[in-house]
Amino acid sequence: MKISLSWLKQYIDLDISAFELVDTLNNIGLMVDDWEEKENEVILDIETYANRPDTLGHLGVARELAVALGRPLKEQSWPLIELNEKTSDLINIKILDEDLCPRYCGIIVRGVQVGPSPDWLREKIKAIGLSPINNVVDVTNYVLFSTAQPIHAFDLDKLTGRKIIVRKAKKGESLISLEEDTLALSSDMLVIADEVKPVALAGVIGGQETSVSNETQDVFIESAYFDPVSIRKTSKKLGIKTEASYRFERGADESFPPQAALMAASILTQMGGKATKGILDIYSKPRKQKTIVLRNHRVAGLLGLEIQEEFIEETLSKLGFQIERTQKGVWQVKSPPFRVDVEREADLIEEIVRFYGYDKIPAKLPPFETLEPALSPKRKAFQKLRQILFHYGFDEVVNFSFVNQEKEAKLQSGRKPIEIRNPVSSKASILRTTLIGGLLENISWNLNRGAEGVHVFETGNVYFWQSDSCIEQCMLALATTGRVGTTHWQSRNEKTDFFRLKSACEAFMNYLRYDPYVFCEEDHTYFELGHSLSLHFKGEPVGFMGLVRRDILDSYSIEDEVWAAEFKLEMLLEKQAKKFQYRPVTRFPGISRDISFIASQEVTYQKIKAAVEKCSIPYLNQFYIYDRFSGPSIPKGKMSLSLRFVFCHPQRTLLAEEVDALQERIIKTLKAEFNFQLREGGKIDK
Amino acid sequence: MKELKKKIEKYKTQFNREITLIQDKKGLQELRNLFLSRKKGYVSLLFEDFKTLKPEERPEAGKIINELKEYVQTKLQALQEEFSTAKKVEKTYDLTLPGKDIYLGSPHPIVHFQQEIEQIFLTMGFTIEEGPEIETDYYNFEALNFPQHHPARDDWDTLYIKDDLLLRTHTSPVQIRVMEKKKPPIRIIIPGKVFRKETPDPTHLPMFFQVEGLVIDVGITFAHLKGTLEYFLKALFNENIKIRFRPSFFPFTEPSAEVDIECTVCDGKNEDCRVCGGSGWIEILGAGMVDPQVLKNVNIDPERYSGFAFGMGIDRTAMFAFQISDMRNFYENDLRFIRQVLRK
Ligand SMILES: [Zn+2]
């Protein structure tokens, strides 16, 4: 909110520099976002706070400054030029809903010459960035920006029946606003009506018909208190936010309406009008002031600092609080009516320390007494997982949780997306149901900027509906495409492939000691048919990996192949890792045997592995595939496989004849199971 | 005897031939074994022959066998010394060529910075808590002392899924969730994603990261809040950084504070500084003593316990720490940007 220094000076003597002024305000919590120094004037832009409606006018800011600087507020007087007519002779005010309007004041100024305001007023209005309109409107603005009390001026002659009725709107009623919009009113909205129809939307905006014009002779000034919640609901429902509604919804000062009406009438009479006698003030149930108990030991207990009782008493009373000491270190405090935010002891302590100075509070570390593990096992596993993926050359990315509905649909995650009711953009209207889309977006972005390859992973939530609950599931996704790293003088950087992706996945499963896990050939909507694997951990499916479907890649304009994977990270991290347990290392040398076969290309390694494991060959310590090829030297549809078997006895050296027998068993099994043919010279002792 | 002499001659010739072929210490050892091995070495075998000789032949035979043995030993010794003295290895490569670069992945700058923050609090005995990103109105607002229809809610532009279901606008709801199930002492931080209805520009995004902290115990004071945050900010930036606490107003804390650090870009000396706008200060944290109403909402007695809470935008702080002028950089995921975290 804009605050003018010269305007403040009407309330308080300020001979300090602009810099000191800004500093003082910041130190009591009125943050000056920006300020501008002009000739004989400083314009401050002060942050507004939802719970400090009292500072939404120059008077309120001056009040705070007066306490901070230890200066008095100047007395204001508002003399009237009065007629003999009583206000109540000319207008009748009735409140039909005292909950939403506990107080309504009015006064009439007759014979107002509507026209440009005097220079002093035009200057004030311009100083805070508004345009002067006419003297009546300028005066209402002047009162609002001075005191934070919104007031409204009606053309008295246009109020049918000279009646003001404060009531809820009736079904079907409407109002043409000052902005010339036709507002459809609903029955929960509070209106100001005359005898026949609404003439203003209470506390929000006035009506066009009864507004002050150049022909206006007599002005009825309204100064009231409206219920904050009602004002806010109406303003939200109609989408109208005004300076008045902004203040009423934050809570105005219920004691102030008569003074604001008097102030407006006084200025208008100075411009030639004459006021009716007496302010009409309908206020049947004055608000009771609440008493707050303030205890000195709580001040020290909350702040960690002793503050002298004199300081507490002086500060609070200067701020307008009534403070009475009931016993040593205990007070009964009543808030001034403009401080609707101060209701409890903690609120009072804030007031005290605001003026005492936050810089005077010492800085201490709280006593230590934690026995909890610094890092949960889940977080530890997560950090290790990231380290492994970095090691395997995957860069970490973070994407927005919002995605484009159309693009997301192409991925067919199978999860029902959650729509945002009020999205930032139509292209970000749903929450992501998979992380793959984001990674493809990243690949496309980076390839378009000259990257030779992109290898990325992301961890984070996907979101979806499951019957009628919103589910968030933490996932891990990886994607790899193009070349890896940069070319070295010894070798060209290699192209990524499925096994680069798989090795990273195997690595985190192995190094996190997730056991047992198994990959199965299984199709998934993200991937080309027959080009994907599912991963099962402790018997439960945790995710998929494979070659991303061509039509999906086309929608991200990616020409190269992309391999990707997505796992339910939460499920992985929550499961117990296999504990480390020592196994004796054999002292006896192993014997290894290499066997080469010709086999049909249909036979998968996983099947071979399962067959060998099923045999339970004694002393078979490990076995692995070390070569696989097909080509001109191999019959069509076949491949050459070379397997290495390592045998080891824990207590002694194995004899060659023993190993020969075991090897024979393996060969026999594989031949029977898969119709393998032993390759010529495929038997090499080592 | 004659045969013995012939044999010795043959061995000597063989030795002289083989020693010229030796390339390395391994070959040397092999040749030594061939001649001097105690069991099967040629010299040992000669002594076997020696045993079959007549007694009168033995002195001479012994002498010539020993001569061979010494000859072999001396020659091998000489060669051994030759191998031991440094020999210039022929250089076939250019040492100034670059080494082989193993491609390591890089952490994302925000996650990386978040972990730095976590580390500091972990050393202060804080634990890390998490919570859902889709929240109810109660946890996001109501329990934190934002009544329905209170204008304070306007400061948190909210993305809604349903009337009562929203994307959390801060990680504060996790404070409530933790206090509901755990009694003091509580000393936690809550990092995570938060969401606001903001149109993206260089300093605003609809999603960003935040870290909140909460300490509840008997006798926790504003002084502890200051001590904790000063320690944290000094650890995160530097030991000498200037820190300012000034009053502010938040619904869930009372008294409330905002914490500024000095602008290290201009030291407060540049009126047009694009980082601090010329004020010399950067708003970095919101904080305060937990509002008694919030404690009551989770059945913690505010007469017995007190506590403080604070919150910080990770992105905004990272922008200042790394001198990044556009927040959107973090979510474009340009690898040329991300990989700067990893290496120069
Ligand atoms: Zn600066």
pLDDT digits (tens, 9 = 90+) for B317-343: 999 999 898 999 999 999 999 999 887
The predicted model scores a pTM of: 0.86
What is the number of alpha carbons within 13 Å of residue A183 lying toward its C-beta? 31
pLDDT digits (tens, 9 = 90+) for A6-32: 999 999 999 888 889 999 999 999 999
Give residue B3's pLDDT.
82
Structure tokens at A650: 């824990």
The answer to whether residue B183 sits within a structural domain is yes
Bridge partner residues of A598 (DSSP): A640, A677
* B200 contacts on A by Cβ (under 8 Å): 424
Q: In what order do the strands lie in the sheet with A563-568?
A: A395-396, A453-466, A469-482, A563-568, A540-548, A527-537, A517-521
C-alpha B278 to ligand 1 mean position (Å): 5
| Residues B114 and B216 occupy one common structural domain | yes
Coil, strand or helix: which one is A295? strand
| Residues B171 and B76 occupy one common structural domain | no
E strands, A552-607, are 563-568, 591-600
Structure tokens at A569: 């990270």
Q: Measure in Å the smallest separation between the Cα of B47 and chain A Cα atoms.
A: 35
C-alpha A637 to ligand 1 mean position (Å): 71
**Cβ separation A389–B160 shorter than 8 A:** no
Q: Measure in Å the smallest separation between the Cα of A169 and chain B Cα atoms.
A: 20
The CATH number linked to B159 is 3.30.930.10
C-alpha B282 to ligand 1 mean position (Å): 8
* Run of H or E residues at B248: strand B243-250
| Residues B252 and B322 occupy one common structural domain | yes
Give residue A369's pLDDT.
67
C-alpha B169 to ligand 1 mean position (Å): 28
Q: Does A494 have pLDDT greater than 60?
A: yes
| Residues B67 and B149 occupy one common structural domain | no
Bridge partner residues of A164 (DSSP): A93
Q: Packing angle between helix A309-318 and helix A58-69, nearest 10 degrees?
A: 160
B127 touches chain A (CB under 8 A): yes
| Residues B330 and B283 occupy one common structural domain | yes
B339 touches chain A (CB under 8 A): yes
The amino acid at residue B127 is T
Domain termination residue (choose one: B91, B119, B143):
B91
Q: Does B83 have pLDDT greater than 80?
A: no
Confidence of residue A686 (pLDDT cuts 50, 70, 90): very low
The amino acid at residue B305 is Y
Coil, strand or helix: which one is A173? coil
Give residue A517's pLDDT.
92
Residue carrying the six token digits 């043919």: A677
Chain A stretch 362-401, residues whose beta carbon is closer than 8 A to a beta carbon of chain B: 362-370, 372-376, 379, 383, 386, 389-401
| Residues B137 and B235 occupy one common structural domain | yes
**Cβ separation B185–A472 shorter than 8 A:** no
Q: Measure in Å the smallest separation between the Cα of A296 and chain B Cα atoms.
A: 14
Q: State how far the Cα of A632 lies from the Cα of A636, in Å rounded to an integer.
A: 8
Q: Does B85 have pLDDT greater than 90?
A: no
pLDDT digits (tens, 9 = 90+) for A63-76: 999 999 999 999 88
Q: What is the mean pLDDT of residues B91-112?
A: 90
Domain termination residue (choose one: B91, B125, B159):
B91
* A228 contacts on B by Cβ (under 8 Å): 149, 151
Give residue B279's pLDDT.
83
DSSP state of A488: B
Cβ–Cβ under 8 Å, residues A536 and A417: no
Q: Which of A228, A399, A486 is nearest residue B101 as measured by Cβ atoms?
A: A486
The CA-CA-CA angle for residues A263, A269, A271, to 5°, reads: 110
* B110 contacts on A by Cβ (under 8 Å): 398
Which ranges in chain A are annotated with CATH 3.30.56.10? 2-69, 291-360
| Residues B16 and B42 occupy one common structural domain | yes
* B154 contacts on A by Cβ (under 8 Å): 50
Residues B239-245: contacts with CB within 8 Å, 24+ apart? B244/A359, B244/B281, B245/A358, B245/A359, B245/A361, B245/B287
Domain termination residue (choose one: B46, B63, B91):
B91
Evaluate whether the domain defined by A2-69 bears CATH number 3.30.56.10: yes
Q: Does A200 have pLDDT greater than 50?
A: yes
The answer to whether residue B124 sits within a structural domain is yes
Q: Measure in Å the smallest separation between the Cα of A301 and chain B Cα atoms.
A: 6
Confidence of residue A682 (pLDDT cuts 50, 70, 90): very low
| Residue A373: C-alpha distances to residues A376, B122, B123 (Å) | 6, 10, 11
Nearest CA in chain B to A354: B247
B94 touches chain A (CB under 8 A): no
* B330 contacts on A by Cβ (under 8 Å): 398
Give residue A108's pLDDT.
95
pLDDT digits (tens, 9 = 90+) for B149-186: 888 887 778 999 998 999 999 999 999 999 999 989 99
A82-282: CATH class: alpha beta
- Please count the residues of chain A: 686
Q: What is the mean pLDDT of residues A545-558?
A: 96
Q: Does A680 have pLDDT greater than 70?
A: no
Q: State how far the Cα of B108 lies from the Cα of B110, in Å rounded to an integer.
A: 6
| Residues B143 and B86 occupy one common structural domain | no
Give residue B268's pLDDT.
78
Which ranges in chain A are annotated with CATH 3.30.930.10? 377-574
Cβ–Cβ under 8 Å, residues A45 and A51: no
* B129 contacts on A by Cβ (under 8 Å): none
DSSP state of B168: -
Q: What is the mean pLDDT of residues A44-67?
A: 93
| Residues B154 and B9 occupy one common structural domain | no
* A428 contacts on B by Cβ (under 8 Å): 206
Q: Measure in Å the smallest separation between the Cα of B308 and chain A Cα atoms.
A: 10
* B206 contacts on A by Cβ (under 8 Å): 400, 402, 424, 428
Confidence of residue B39 (pLDDT cuts 50, 70, 90): confident
Bridge partner residues of A330 (DSSP): A295, A327
Chain A stretch 218-257, residues whose beta carbon is closer than 8 A to a beta carbon of chain B: 228-229, 232-233, 246, 249-250
Coil, strand or helix: which one is A667? helix
Q: Which of A305, A391, A446 is nearest residue B335 as measured by Cβ atoms?
A: A446
Confidence of residue A681 (pLDDT cuts 50, 70, 90): low
DSSP state of B153: G
- Domain enclosing residue B67, as ranges: 2-91
pLDDT digits (tens, 9 = 90+) for A410-424: 999 999 999 999 999
Q: Does A643 have pLDDT greater than 90?
A: yes
Q: What is the mean pLDDT of residues A540-557?
A: 96
Give the other-Cβ count within 10 Å of A601's Cβ. Answer: 12
**Cβ separation A421–B162 shorter than 8 A:** yes
**Cβ separation B199–A424 shorter than 8 A:** yes
C-alpha B310 to ligand 1 mean position (Å): 24
Confidence of residue A685 (pLDDT cuts 50, 70, 90): very low
**Cβ separation A354–B247 shorter than 8 A:** yes
Give the other-Cβ count within 10 Å of A543's Cβ. Answer: 22
Chain A stretch 349-368, residues whose beta carbon is closer than 8 A to a beta carbon of chain B: 349-350, 353-354, 358-359, 361-368
Give residue A683's pLDDT.
44
Q: State how far the Cα of A382 lies from the Cα of A425, in Å rounded to an integer.
A: 33
| Residues B75 and B142 occupy one common structural domain | no
Burial class (CB in 10 A: 0-12, 13-18, 19+), B176: buried
Q: Measure in Å the smallest separation between the Cα of B218 and chain A Cα atoms.
A: 10
Q: State how far the Cα of A597 lies from the Cα of B187, in Å rounded to an integer.
A: 63
**Cβ separation B160–A460 shorter than 8 A:** no
Confidence of residue A476 (pLDDT cuts 50, 70, 90): very high
Test the A interface: residue of B101, B221, B294, B327 with most A CBs within 10 Å = B221
pLDDT digits (tens, 9 = 90+) for A651-679: 888 898 999 999 999 999 999 999 888 88
* B152 contacts on A by Cβ (under 8 Å): 50-51
* A248 contacts on B by Cβ (under 8 Å): none
Q: Measure in Å the smallest separation between the Cα of A532 and chain B Cα atoms.
A: 24
The answer to whether residue B103 sits within a structural domain is no
Dihedral pair phi/psi, residue A640, rounded to 5°? -100, 130
Q: Does B87 have pLDDT greater than 70?
A: no
Architecture field, domain A291-360: 2-Layer Sandwich (3.30)
* Run of H or E residues at A508: helix A498-511
Give residue A575's pLDDT.
86
Q: Measure in Å the smallest separation between the Cα of B61 and chain A Cα atoms.
A: 44
| Residue B72: C-alpha distances to residues B20, B38, B61, B315 (Å) | 13, 14, 17, 78
| CATH number for the domain running over A591-684 | 3.30.70.380
Q: What single string gives the DSSP state of each residue in A143-155?
A: HHHHHS--EEEEE
Chain B stretch 271-290, residues whose beta carbon is closer than 8 A to a beta carbon of chain A: 277, 289
Q: State how far the Cα of B92 lies from the Cα of A342, in Å rounded to an integer.
A: 84
Burial class (CB in 10 A: 0-12, 13-18, 19+), A618: exposed
Evaluate whether the domain defined by A377-574 bears CATH number 2.120.10.70: no
Structural domains of chain B, count = 2
**Cβ separation A31–B258 shorter than 8 A:** yes
* A474 contacts on B by Cβ (under 8 Å): none
Q: Measure in Å the smallest separation between the Cα of A542 and chain B Cα atoms.
A: 21
Q: What ipTM goes with this model?
A: 0.89
| Residues B226 and B120 occupy one common structural domain | yes
Bridge partner residues of A482 (DSSP): A453
A347 touches chain B (CB under 8 A): yes
Which ranges in chain A are annotated with CATH 3.30.70.380? 591-684
Size of interface A-B (CB pairs under 8 A): 245
CA quadruple A3, A5, A10, A15: dihedral, nearest 10: 150
Residue A193 CA from chain centroid, whole number:
41
**Cβ separation A486–B249 shorter than 8 A:** no
**Cβ separation A397–B336 shorter than 8 A:** no
Q: Which of A131-140, B27-36, B317-326 has the lowest mean pLDDT?
A: B27-36
**Cβ separation B333–A449 shorter than 8 A:** no
| Residues B87 and B123 occupy one common structural domain | no
A426 touches chain B (CB under 8 A): no
